[in-house]
Chain A
Amino acid sequence: MRLSTVAALGQREMADALRNRWFIAYAGAFVVLSVALALLVINSAGYGGISGFGRTSAGLVNLVLFLAPLMGLTLGAQALANEREQGTLGYLMAQPVSFLEVFLAKFLGLAVAIASAIVSGFALSTLTINALSGGEGMDTFFGLTGLTVLLALAALSIGYLISSVSRRTSTALGIAIVVWLALVLIGDLGLMGTAVIMKLSPGELMGLTLLNPLELYRIASIFLLRDSLELLGPSGLVAHDWFGGSISLVLGALLMAWIAVPLAVAYRTMARQEQR
């Protein structure tokens, strides 16, 4: 693999993302809402800013749970299907490049663009709070930024998988929205309903919860903010029993698996199709 090729194509992908109206809308919404949330928290707490970062972080978790997966899924779903539909992928493949280089460059370019939008949102809200109420709780904020980037990249990876099996961009986008709804709403409410009907044990409930990257992010964030999972009730205690002091590592590794596995499957699927 040639890094110069990956860099050239990755830069093009980032430039494309910055011109993509979807990306601009998501990034803009994320930055504006993050700052608005920070201001809201400061105002509600007064200028003393008690636990300013912690409260802002808690608010941001809920914002992120909606916006970051939507951003990753839809941008990822468009990425490959659109290139194939426009004929640009076929043209690139006629150049002295390998499919792995094109595939990775597209992912990395988009990943950097999304990560930059997230970091900008968090950084601006951090600066806002810092300027108005002091710099307490910064570690939490940095941790949450990292977690959010991981969640967005997991969603991007799932979006790539959707894109790899879709012939048309519109189909890929449709599937991405359905998957987003499933992860955000059905994943949460459905799991609660299933737990009640099937009388799941706390262990089974926690096991199923960990299959959803959004829930992974939620649990990791709660652990980051509270340093315990008591808030989750018996399931939280099960998680504590299972993973002990390595909860952060396990949750982080599971989120990374959500990035690596769909991406590997998408690559395998696309590489086969491209050789047809």
Chain B
Amino acid sequence: MIELRHVTRRYGAKRAVDDVSFSVADGESIALWGSNGAGKTTLLRCLLGTTRYEGEITVDGIAPNRDGRAARQRIGYVPQTMPTFDLTVSEMVVLVARLRDADPRQGIAQLERFGLGHTLKQTMASLSGGMRQKLALTLALLGDARVLLLDEPTANLDAQSQAELITMLVELKAHGRTIVFTSHRWSEVRALADRVVTLDQGRCVGIGSVAETARIADEVQLRVDLLPETVAPAVALLREHGYATERHGDSALVTVDTRKKAEPLVLLARSRYAVTDFTVEDET
């Protein structure tokens, strides 16, 4: 059971997380939804106890800001991109197993289940993005962590790897793991979440079931590929016109009403920005 009561994280005058309260039942899966800068990652860091916060958080009754080690012993963490340690896959499993007081054989067996048994002697640097995220999930499960925190785990994966990882997470949820994850993709939220916590500029602006989260259900993510030198001004233009837009490499990720998907494209074309390609990321 995870509980957050009036959690606030300030950076000077700015509140990255502002008076957020909600709870997560054992075995429940919660999606943290919101644009970049909404406070999703900061909230995950508060749950891990790796950043200061005001208010109260408990993970199975343990406050991460008072006993971070005990809280993190219960939490498995999957970052957006698994950082590359100068180790082989098996060495990494052994290292994290030692830190988590777990049996490395458990990790090796999990890797076999994920189809990564052949990578044990490979360096982490030689793994593909999808393989690295599967490794991150394997490491997060070491020591039977009952709570999984995932920070946009599929953000940098291709479609097939995204689907594989989500399938694995759905299975883990079915086996009773508590999951808190952030995502930009509605399809993932729909597949994995029981409830959605919507954050906007650090504040919790809605908590509800997936179906109840009407704001999301009416919107899709439109990925617009642009020429590298035009991405920044194009993103600024879209924001000026009220579109929630984020930059992802050479693309603009635009949140748009499902019935008005063409509008941002028309706006960009009229302003003479060359759109090289576009994809509707999540059709609800």
Q: Which residues of B contact A96 (CB under 8 A)?
A: 68-70, 72-73, 99-101
Q: Is the CB of A87 within 8 A of B87?
A: no
Q: Is the CB of B69 within 8 A of A97?
A: yes
A62 close to B (CB within 8 Å)? no
Distance in angstroms from A91 CB to nearest chain B CB is: 5
B51 close to A (CB within 8 Å)? yes
Given A95-B72, A98-B68, A86 contacting B84 (CB threshold 8 A): yes
Distance in angstroms from B121 CB to nearest chain A CB is: 15
Distance in angstroms from B240 CB to nearest chain A CB is: 31
A4 close to B (CB within 8 Å)? yes
Distance in angstroms from A18 CB to nearest chain B CB is: 10
Q: Is the CB of B51 within 8 A of A276?
A: yes
A51 close to B (CB within 8 Å)? no
Interface centre among A4, A8, A12, A94 (most CB of B within 10 A): A94
Q: Is the CB of B69 within 8 A of A98?
A: yes
Q: Which of A94-118 contact B (CB under 8 A)?
A: 94-98
A93 close to B (CB within 8 Å)? yes
A16 close to B (CB within 8 Å)? yes
Minimal Cβ-Cβ distance residue in B for A88: B83
Distance in angstroms from B98 CB to nearest chain A CB is: 4
Q: Is the CB of A95 within 8 A of B100?
A: yes
In the bound complex, how far is the Cα of B93 from the Cα of A95, in angstroms? 13
Q: Is the CB of A91 within 8 A of B83?
A: yes
* Chain B 69-96 interface mask (CB, 8 Å, partner A; 1/0): 1101101010101111111000100011
Q: Is the CB of A16 within 8 A of B79?
A: no
In the bound complex, how far is the Cα of B101 from the Cα of A4, in angstroms? 9
A19 close to B (CB within 8 Å)? yes
Q: Which residues of A contact B87 (CB under 8 A)?
A: 12, 15
Q: Which residues of B contact A98 (CB under 8 A)?
A: 68-69
B126 close to A (CB within 8 Å)? no
Q: Which residues of B contact A16 (CB under 8 A)?
A: 86
B231 close to A (CB within 8 Å)? no
Q: Which residues of A contact B70 (CB under 8 A)?
A: 96
Distance in angstroms from B64 CB to nearest chain A CB is: 11
Q: Which of A65-111 contact B (CB under 8 A)?
A: 86-88, 90-98
Distance in angstroms from A253 CB to nearest chain B CB is: 34
Q: Which residues of B contact A8 (CB under 8 A)?
A: 95, 98-99
Q: Which residues of A contact B101 (CB under 8 A)?
A: 96
Distance in angstroms from A17 CB to nearest chain B CB is: 10
In the bound complex, how far is the Cα of B267 from the Cα of A67, in angstroms? 62
Given A95-B96, A95-B99, A98-B69, A19 contacting B86 (CB threshold 8 A): yes
A5 close to B (CB within 8 Å)? yes
Q: Which of A7-25 contact B (CB under 8 A)?
A: 8-9, 12, 15-16, 19
Cβ 8 A contact of A86, one of B72, B73, B83, B91: B83
Q: Is the CB of A93 within 8 A of B99?
A: no
Q: Is the CB of B79 within 8 A of A12?
A: no
A246 close to B (CB within 8 Å)? no
Cβ 8 A contact of A90, one of B69, B72, B83, B100: B83
Could you list which residues of chain A lie within 8 angstroms of chain B, going by C-beta atoms?
4-5, 8-9, 12, 15-16, 19, 86-88, 90-98, 274-276
Could you list which residues of chain B lie within 8 angstroms of chain A, going by C-beta atoms?
11, 48, 50-52, 68-70, 72-73, 75, 77, 79, 81-87, 91, 95-96, 98-101
28 contacts between A and B (CB under 8 A): A5-B98, A9-B99, A12-B85, A12-B87, A15-B87, A16-B86, A19-B86, A86-B83, A87-B79, A87-B81, A87-B83, A90-B83, A91-B83, A94-B48, A94-B50, A94-B79, A95-B72, A95-B100, A96-B68, A96-B70, A96-B72, A96-B73, A96-B99, A96-B101, A97-B99, A98-B69, A274-B50, A276-B11
Q: With contacts A19-B86, A88-B83, A95-B72 known, what are 16 further pairs, Cβ within 8 A?
A: A9-B99, A12-B85, A12-B87, A86-B83, A87-B79, A90-B50, A91-B79, A91-B83, A94-B50, A94-B77, A94-B79, A96-B73, A96-B99, A97-B72, A97-B99, A98-B69
